[in-house]
Amino acid sequence: MANEEEDRMHPLSAAIREKADYHGAPESLVAAVRAALPAAEEAPSRLRFWLAQAAALAGVAFITWAATMGYLRPGEDERVAGEVLASHVRATLDHRTIEVASSDQHTVKPWLSARLPYSPPVTDLSSQGFELRGARLDRVGGRQVAVLVYARRLHVISAYVWPGEVRAAAFAKDGFNVARFSKGGMEYSLVSDLNRNELDDFARLLALGQ
């Protein structure tokens, strides 16, 4: 009987060895498996066989868990997009989207530069239909950042700006659109309930600096 069971398990063992991705198991897992194994001279052959299979399956289960957690863990882009979206909604609900109210870039830029360790570019896009309303300070990723506030008809756009580089990306969630890109050593994250096409147009104008 034992031989039949071993024969049925051999294909599984071979498949695991051939198909599974191999990664070093954590020392804690190795120690736990070793502690569960009786001394070689004390363990019957059948028991040693089944414990070995259990150790192999435990390793596969651990690898699957680790891979799944890595897949489900949000990437940096998604994390930042979630933060700026939450910040935009929070500022809107608290009626504090603007701390310095001005459509003059020469007023907004010095106000931000005096309060931040960097000087964010401020672009006047009113001639293209995106009116500068002012700016505020907010926090993203534990740092204080500039937020330029624009309006397109009845829609508010929060443009988060801080030093950095990021690949261009776009997200949509809960009726809001988010666009991310870099320009001139600055990282931009735009949030609005504006439709995707118009937000992309706004992003393009900001990237061109006109």
Note whether 11 and 81 are same-domain residues: no
Distance CA 159, CA 182 (A): 12
Check: pTM over 0.85? Answer yes or no.
no
Q: Which residue type is seen at 119?
A: S
Domain boundary among 72, 105, 121: 72
Q: Which amino acid would we find at residue 57?
A: L
Residue span of the structural domain in which 158 resides? 76-208
Element containing residue 134 per DSSP (H, E): strand 131-140
Instruction: For residue 180, give the CATH number of its domain.
Output: 3.30.200.100
112 touches 192 (CB < 8 A)? no
Residues 7 and 51 in one domain: yes
Tell me how many degrees the CA angle 97-100-101 measures, rounded to the nearest 5. 80
- pLDDT at position 60, please? 46
* Diameter over CA atoms, the chain: 87
CA–CA dist 160, 105 (Å, integer):
16
Edge-first strand listing for the sheet containing 131-140: 100-101, 131-140, 143-152, 155-163, 186-192, 176-183, 169-173
Whole-number Å distance between alpha carbons of 184 and 165: 9
Residues 108 and 124: their CA atoms lie apart, in Å, by 10
For residues 95 and 127, membership in a common domain is answered with yes
* 8 A C-beta contact, residue 138 and residue 87: yes
Q: Do residues 193 and 110 both lie within one domain?
A: yes
If asked whether residues 106 and 184 sit together in one domain, one would say yes
Condensed to tens digits (0 to 9), the pLDDT of residues 127-159 reads: 999 999 999 999 998 999 999 999 999 999 999
pLDDT tens, residue by residue, 91-126: 999 899 999 999 999 999 999 999 999 999 999 999
In this structure, are 11 and 30 located in the same domain?
yes
Give me the number of domains the chain comprises. Answer: 2
pLDDT for 51-90, tens place per residue? Answer: 555 555 544 444 343 333 333 345 777 888 899 999 999 9
